[in-house]
Amino acid sequence: MKGRSTLEVAKLVGIGKNTLLTWLRQGRIREPKRASKGAIAFRFWSERDIERVRKYKEANYRKGRGRKKAS
């Protein structure tokens, strides 16, 4: 199974890596599967995980303006 890196996912979705990491820390999107090799831990972003991030972005994010205002 080939997973993508956090940076790759952020670029694909059109947001910054720090924005994506903030959403993960705050629990706004579900954490993808993690793996480790020695002392290094990394995330396996599947296509399903990437689609979840895209949907969250569409519903909640506007570049340069922050969060969308509730209607």
Residues 22-59 pLDDT 10s: 999 999 999 998 888 888 888 889 999 999 999 999 98
Quickly list H helices, 1-71.
6-13, 17-25, 47-60
pLDDT in the model for residue 16: 92
> How many CB atoms are closer than 10 A to CB 20?
22
Read off φ and ψ for residue 13, nearest 5 degrees: -80, -25
Q: Which residues pair with 44 in a beta bridge?
A: 33
pLDDT in the model for residue 3: 79
Q: Is 49 helix (H, G, I), strand (E, B) or coil?
A: helix
User: Contact, 30 vs 1, CB < 8 A?
Assistant: no
Task: Give the pTM.
Answer: 0.79
pLDDT in the model for residue 28: 94
pLDDT in the model for residue 66: 60
